[in-house]
Amino acid sequence: MENQSSKNINKGKKLIILGFSTIAILFLIYSRYQNPEVLTPDAIDSIQRIAYGFYITLVASFGVIAIGMYRYHKGKVEGNGKDLSTIIALTTWNLKSRKIFVATFIAYGIFFSLVSGTLVYQPEVSFSYHYGAEIPSGFIAPCCGELGYMPKIIVYLTDHVGLQIVPVNLVLQVIVSYLVGLNTSIAISAYTISKKGRGLSSIGAATGLFIACPTCAGTFMSIFIGTASGIALSIALTQMQTLFIAISIPILLATPYIMAKKLRNTDGSCKINPTK
């Protein structure tokens, strides 16, 4: 059993690394096709095909990461060790924690979509009238933009509701939603954790909302400090996007370990029975 758990853990780690490495390489390779000066009609057709391949590979990478996370998680549970990673795995392995995780992942993902502009609702704009869009319809815009922001998927669901899927937003949405779901499922089990621990989790979740949409913070602040100041703040926050990522994701990564300490017995074992 120990050998099998070790194999699952090692295989899981390799799959996770492979998935994230593929995404990073994918972004770098596609950025080479974003120079509008060298575009020709033939080049556009080629880039369009590459854009389809981009999203197929991106989705496949997500699948590889998901399988890797599952195998790593399962290996930790089977190994039944006394390290904090095992405590986290044991705490979130039961059916109740899984349901909480899935519900939080979906709900937070939808909320993230709204504030990041992935899910677009514009009641004052008619997509068919103002943009000449066919309802419903969708397409991939293959060019041109900054690293991570192309190719972009545009979908018109109704005359006022649509989707604008940007690769970097999509990746960040999945990562942050996963971490928030993980934090929530552990926090509910660890109801006796300190207020400081809960505060860290809340800060990470709230900050994560603005990773893909730092201007949302400026919009929120403009309600209280005035439109002009809010616009200035939006610009500043856009320039500090890397800082938001640096702050929120490490907090969301660290908080499960902080909470796991509350769920560990004095002998290092987990207080939670993973089968319940």
Side chain identity, residue 169: N
The total of structural domains in the chain comes to 1
Domain annotation covers residue 40: no
Range of the domain at 196: 92-117+167-276
Q: Is 11 a domain residue?
A: no
> 89 in helix, strand or coil?
helix
Structural domain includes residue 61: no
Task: Look at residue 109 and tell me if it is in a domain.
Answer: yes
Phi first, then psi, for residue 159 (nearest 5°) are -70, -15
* Rounded average pLDDT over 79-98: 84
Number of H helices, E strands in the chain: 10, 4
Return the DSSP state at 265: -
- The tokens for 214 are 């730092």
Q: What is the pLDDT of residue 230?
A: 38
Average pLDDT over residues 81-96: 84
The 3-state DSSP class for residue 178 equals helix
Cβ burial, residue 212 (10 Å; 0-12/13-18/19+)? buried
Of all helices (H) and strands (E), which one includes residue 141?
Answer: strand 137-141
3-state secondary structure (DSSP) of residue 165: strand
C-alpha separations of 199 from 112, 140, 205, 221 in Å: 20, 40, 10, 21
Distance CA 87, CA 59 (A): 30
Residue 110 inside a domain? The answer is yes
10-19, 96-105, 119-128, 263-272, range with greatest mean pLDDT: 10-19
Structure tokens at 97: 């924690």
Domain membership flag for residue 150:
no
pLDDT tens digits, one per residue of 189-219: 766 444 444 544 554 444 444 443 433 444 3
Q: What is the mean pLDDT of the chain?
A: 76
CB 91 within 8 A of CB 260: yes
Three-class secondary structure of residue 213 per DSSP: coil
Residue with tokens 């970097």: 168
pLDDT at 212: 39
C-beta separation of 211 from 245 below 8 A: yes
Rounded-to-integer distance, Cα 57 and Cα 171, Å: 13
Q: Tokens for 253, please give them.
A: 């990564």
Residue 130 inside a domain? The answer is no
Instruction: Tell me if the pTM is above 0.75.
Output: yes
Q: Looking at the domain assignment, is residue 145 inside a domain?
A: no
* Whole-angstrom distance, CA of residue 254 vs CA of residue 268: 19
Sorted by sequence, the CB contacts under 8 Å of residue 4 that are 6+ apart come out as: 75, 78
